[in-house]
Amino acid sequence: MAERHEEKYFINYHQYALLKDRAVQTMTPDIHGVDGSYTITSLYYDDPMGTALQEKLDGLAKHTKFRLRTYDGQKDMIRLERKIKQGIITQKKSAEIALSQLCHLGMPDYDLERFEGKAFELVAQMIAEGMRPEMTVRYKRDAFCFPGTDVRLTFDRKLETLPGEAQYLFRQDGVGIPVLDDNTVIMEIKYGSYIPVFIRDMTAVATRQMSISKYALCRENTR
């Protein structure tokens, strides 16, 4: 798995509007959605002891999360992902999952024979660690890429949580519980080994980099 850097910042809506305008002028919108804007819905998994959450809350340098993810609720693009993060360094392994396989991804209904390749490896680890659906997280994203590099700039807003059930991966009309106010946006800068100086200058804000987990934010704010 290739390693990537992932920096996260809380910014306000005014900063978001300004930085997004700069990105529109200098970067390319992500291929997902319309003009780089789309809704991400993720069903997070955790073990009965809540290890994924506790690792984050305890401030451990290294922590792991499993999730199912859709874009704009599309049923033909479902991804199963394992994300390992250590500081700002992340590793991600993902596999496409068919709609018919979803019913085999929840305790006690795991059926390893339904999967192959990368999906088989990920599901086998989920079974070994006793993973079960825990919470659905949904938010709006504006994403941009810089041509010729692996640099991505994203803005996530309207973060909300819903029950930990696969049906909410596709329901765009369901009302969730808001977790952040409308004036709070999460900016993420993602890159491999290098980020161009002008991108660093363009995204400079008067806030410090933070360790932000949308899953932990949702769990903590809905207890």
* pLDDT tens string 68-82: 999 999 999 999 999
Q: 129-159 pLDDT, tens per residue?
A: 999 999 999 999 999 998 888 999 999 999 9
Strands 132-145 and 37-46: antiparallel
Where residue 175 falls among pLDDT bands split at 50, 70, 90? confident
Q: Are 189 and 204 in contact (CB under 8 A)?
A: no
What is the rounded average pLDDT of the residues 148-173? Answer: 92
The mean pLDDT of the chain is: 90
In the block, tokens 């933070």 appear at 210
This prediction's pTM:
0.93
CATH number at residue 213: 3.20.100.30
CA dist 159 and 137 (Å) reads 7
Going by pLDDT thresholds of 50, 70 and 90, the confidence category of residue 60 is low
The 10 Å Cβ neighbour count of residue 173 is 5
The backbone region for 59, taken as left when phi is positive above 0, alpha when psi lies in -120 to 50, beta otherwise, is left
Q: Which residues of 3-39 are buried (b: 16+ CB within 10 A; e: fewer)?
A: ebbbbbbbbeeebbeebbeebeeebebbebbeebbbb
Q: Which of 50-59, 68-77, 105-114, 190-199 has the highest mean pLDDT?
A: 68-77
Domains: count for the chain: 1
**120 φ, ψ (degrees, to nearest 5):** -60, -45
62/74 Cα distance (integer angstroms):
31
Domain that holds residue 189: 3-221
Instruction: Calculate the CA dihedral of residues 64, 70, 76, 78 and round it to 10 degrees.
Output: 10
Residue 61: pLDDT band (50, 70, 90) is: low
User: What's the average model confidence in pLDDT over 117-131?
Assistant: 95
Q: pLDDT per residue over 92-120, tens digit each?
A: 999 999 999 999 998 777 889 999 999 99
Q: Are 129 and 190 in contact (CB under 8 A)?
A: no
